[in-house]
Chain A
């Protein structure tokens, strides 16, 4: 039997304990350092910051989805592949529905085609998540194994659909009106990602769905005996991750104007790193959407900064690896 150990918990103490606070400090420090050493403060240029925001939007969504899955004590290795499959389906739908382009290069049904493509991407993602959730709960196969499998299935399905080629001929309006567009200087995809993240944060901390996910991650047996519908709650977290990956797939074509089938081999690992750096426990029970969102910017800021100060972008991977290990080490030192 353990003796009672009541940690000091003033409001300030709670803030100092919280990982999002640490991550924010680290991120601000990175921005300041890169600003100081970049020539003529160019790191703070609107174009540079907008590029960082655009490059982060999809990753933010993936990380938010994974936050739920990890919080529930599972893992989803398939989110990167689901992103690719969703983008391929969305791109194909957009091309089919947009009609024949006129001589000036405009498509007659571009607007409608893009909206339906976005819906298709989200539906594909949601179905992929549902399949993951059903396999994990019904077959009772470990989620690492299930999603390792569906990762391969989704990647293969995307390649089969297009014979491995990227989808060409998507109406450029998807870029001009959405992907490269801004409101008040902020890239639209980032605005979308942040709004969705805020909603997800409310779901995680203010609803039964979020609380049950964390309860399962903390003790699946305990949650079940307390009356939580463990199967349903588990399926819900995988569907959330899938929906996020689907939406990220649409953001992908809106950013490039085409798909990037082979461009996402490390995307899932980047998102996973961000979630863990952001303070979500790899073993479930504790999760933070703000932590994940903020931590997502660390790799993109590092990349942009390295490029600006003339360091090879290859060092980004090394830096992220080091940051990941330090973050988890710090987390273990502080808590538990």
Chain B
């Protein structure tokens, strides 16, 4: 299972503390183009901290991240975006008063052609049309109107918009933190299909999820974290849920007493 290609993403030695809490001790993550890597672990294992360091939302205390072999500046969402990393955050990252189209293009607005564009005027029509194409291209059909404020959408629809935005922006890697957490079965399946479509476009995908059956359905590799460390990095094929759970919780009983709910 060794892959000699330069990985789309390589994160190594990432560490982050919040006061006395060492949320992340040893964060390692490698993702190749066209690969879905699932990041699993119990609550507090350091998954969200690890991907926040990769997405630029957090500045790690130590470690490095490189994209296509080139080192990426840390602690800047903007820099991560420019390196082709886009993230779907747990709890989303939408402006509820803005429309679907406005949120899809937020901070990446299209301008009008010519002089008006150089004066800073936005091309709202083009953004609405591109928003339609984007949703359509991802097979998202539950949304009738891209001019609706995101605050008027259901939780599932908001999630779909968030995923669409990340996919449309990512040049190399899409990170999804619990993309199906608040969704019903049908909408979860839709997100899973979107992940497969993203992988087929040649992007790397990092998926954080507690939904192990779905994780095994879509992931190529499973990276298991416990107590701020990566404890296993396994090919997904042939893996059993029981094995994953055992690694997540640790084999020894005293680990549970360190604050890990069973």
Contact = CB atoms under 8 A, between A and B. Distances in A.
Nearest to B103: A226
Contacts of B157: 4
A4 B154 contact: yes
B120 A227 contact: no
Contacts of B77: 224-225, 227
B101 to A, nearest CB: 11
B96 A1 contact: no
Contacts of A9: 145, 147-148
Contacts of B109: 208, 211
Contacts of A5: 152
A10 interface: no
Contacts of B121: 202, 206-207
A219 B92 CA distance: 11
B106 A223 contact: yes
Interface residues of B, number: 36
B206 to A, nearest CB: 16
B95 A285 contact: yes
Contacts of A228: 106-107
A3 B154 contact: yes
A7 B157 CA distance: 16
Interface in B31-45: none
Contacts of B120: 206-209
Nearest to B96: A218
Contacts of A209: 120
Contacts of A221: 93
Nearest to B102: A211
B153 interface: yes
Contacts of A255: none
User: What size tier do the contact residues of chain A reach?
Assistant: 20 to 34
Nearest to B153: A4
B46 interface: no
A312 interface: no
Residue among A3, A222, A223, A286 with most chain B CB within 10 A: A222
Contacts of B154: 1-4
A48 B215 CA distance: 73
Given A1-B156, A206-B122, A225 B144 contact: no
A229 to B, nearest CB: 7
A97 B51 CA distance: 61
A212 interface: yes
A214 B95 contact: yes
B93 A222 contact: yes
A227 B122 contact: no
Interface in B122-158: 122, 124, 144-145, 147-148, 152-157
Contacts of A7: 152
Contacts of A172: none
A215 B57 contact: no
A6 interface: yes
A219 B96 contact: yes
Contacts of A223: 95, 106-107
B152 A6 contact: yes
Given A3-B154, A9-B145, A229-B78, A222 B122 contact: no
A246 interface: no
A36 to B, nearest CB: 40
Nearest to B156: A1
Contacts of A215: 95, 98, 102, 106
A226 B95 contact: yes
A211 B78 contact: no
A225 B102 contact: no
Contact of A222 (B87, B92, B145): B92
Interface in B102-117: 102-103, 106-109
A311 B148 CA distance: 46
Interface string A215-249: 11111011111111100000000000000000000
Contacts of B107: 208, 212, 223, 226-229
B223 to A, nearest CB: 23
A284 B93 CA distance: 16
Nearest to B91: A221
Given A3-B154, A6-B148, A211-B102, A225 B57 contact: yes
A2 B182 CA distance: 11
Interface in A268-284: 281, 284
Nearest to B123: A206
B87 A225 contact: yes
26 contacts: A2-B155, A6-B144, A6-B145, A9-B147, A206-B121, A206-B124, A208-B109, A208-B120, A208-B122, A211-B102, A211-B106, A215-B95, A215-B102, A216-B95, A219-B95, A221-B93, A222-B92, A223-B106, A224-B77, A225-B89, A225-B93, A226-B107, A226-B165, A227-B77, A228-B107, A281-B97
Given A1-B156, A218-B97, 5 more contacts: A206-B124, A218-B95, A219-B96, A226-B95, A226-B165
Interface of A: 1-7, 9, 202, 206-209, 211-212, 214-219, 221-229, 281, 284-286
